[in-house]
Every structure is written in C-alpha cells, then in structure tokens.
Amino acid sequence: MPDLNVLSYNIHKGFNANNTAFLLHEIRDAIRAQGAELVLLQEVIGEHQKHENRLEQWPRASQFEFLADQIWPHFAYGKNAIYQHGHHGNAILSKYPFDSWNNVNITRWRFSQRGLLHGRILERIHVICVHFGLLAAERRYQLRRLMHLIERGVPADAPLIIAGDFNDWTRQLDRRLQRSLGMQEVFQCLLGANARTFPSKWPLLAMDRIYFRGLRLLEGERLLGHPWRDLSDHCALQASFRLAD
C-alpha cells in the first residue's frame, strides 16, 4: 500500500468563525489542494432547508457529497444532531472503498448530540472520526464509549487512526487514550506537544488530534495561514503514515 495521507478538519458547517460568510466552496478548494487519501470532517451539514432557501451558493447535494465530488469516490456520513430544518454530523471521505462503516451514538445529553463514525478500508485499516462534547463529564462518558468500541470492534493488531475535534483542552482524555489503548498522537510524537488548533486565527487551545497505532508516522502539519485562518474556527491537521513492518 502507498503512504496514507490523512486530513482532519472541523469545517464549522461551511461558515467562517463568526458565521458571517459561507465558505464551503473555498473549504473544498483548500482540502483538495492537500492531496489526502482520507479526510475526516466534523460539523458537516447533511441537510438544512433554511440555508438552502437563503444562500445562493448552497450546494444542491449534501455538504459531504459536494466536498467529495470527483476526488473522493467513497464517503460515509454519520447523522448526529437532528433539528427542525435538517441535520449535521461527521463524515469520512476516502479514495479507497469502505469494507464497512457505522455511526455509533455517543450522546450523553439531548442538547448535545454526538457520534463516532467508524470505517474500515483496505480490509484492515480502521478509521474513527470523533467530535466530543464541550463539558468534561460528557467527554469522559464519550471516551468510555470510544474505548468500548475499539476493544470490541478493532483487533489489537489492526492499524487504527482516530482523528477529530476532541474538545480536550485540559488533556485529560489524551493521557487515557494513550495509556489504555496504546495510541500515539501525531504532534506529541513530532513536537512533544499537541498542536493548538482553536481559534484558527490565533490558535491557543489544543482541541483537535490525530491518534494512531499500528502505523509508522512519516510527517504531520497544522495548516495555518492563508487560506486556512479564514475558513473555519478550527485549524485543520494533516499527517502521513506508512503501514508498520
């Protein structure tokens, strides 16, 4: 298998940080330019009737289909937050077909609907797209659900990537993920600390992560500067891997 280039990004539903501009077309251009085989996205809108009627640039397809079009022929979407005018959740775009995928509900409280989108590609590589909640108790519950999913659904010797918005600025979950599941975090390996990703214009908090095991890390990058600082409220993260010998 060639090297696997992975990008993780909270796209803020296609709007800039203060919700004054709809930038999904610019987000698509920026993501495509990175050449990733796998793209793990959070806050992706599957349907929104009000935006569809109000915004001229709103795509006819869902956001994940619009982003994937002609570049990533395979995609999975996990509908998490459902409201009167539509829904949003996590998505994985892939240049490789999925052997299987499923969305696991990890909602702790009704006002904060969350899920884990778990896919498998190339018969053995497991990929989990994560968006945890804002409250510490909520995140602890969601970490337990993630650990349960991995212990039951991912063989110990299978390559595994977990990426997304963990909202874990205190790093409490980070230590448990590494200690209990044997995961490594890309930027801790490369720089000795998690990358600061929020807010995108002046990143202060390490909210987003890419964890891995059973793979060899080649490189990683926090995507800063033009155009990234203006597209979403989060920075995107990218990493390249090779199957371990």
Whether domain 4-243 has CATH 3.60.10.10: the reply is: yes
What would the two tokens of residue 88 be? Answer: 């949003």
Q: Which residues, in sequence order, are CB contacts of 118 under 8 Å at separation 6+? A: 101, 102, 103, 104, 126, 127, 128, 129, 149, 153
pLDDT of residue 245: 67
pLDDT of residue 111: 74
pLDDT tens, residue by residue, 38-49: 999 999 999 998
Which residue pairs, CB below 8 angstroms and at least 24 apart, start in 139-145? 139/166, 139/167, 139/168, 139/172, 139/173, 140/172, 140/173, 141/106, 141/108, 142/106, 142/108, 142/114, 142/116, 143/173, 143/176, 143/177, 145/104, 145/106, 145/116
pLDDT at position 74 over 70:
yes
Mean pLDDT in the chain? 95
Q: Which residues, in sequence order, are CB contacts of 152 under 8 Å at separation 6+? A: none
pLDDT at position 92 over 80:
yes
Q: Which of 26, 5, 2 is nearest to 229 (CA)?
A: 26
Written as one letter, the residue type at 230 is: D
Domain coordinates in residue numbering, the chain: 4-243
Q: Which of 76, 19, 23, 3 is nearest to 228 (CA)?
A: 23
pLDDT at position 146 over 90:
yes
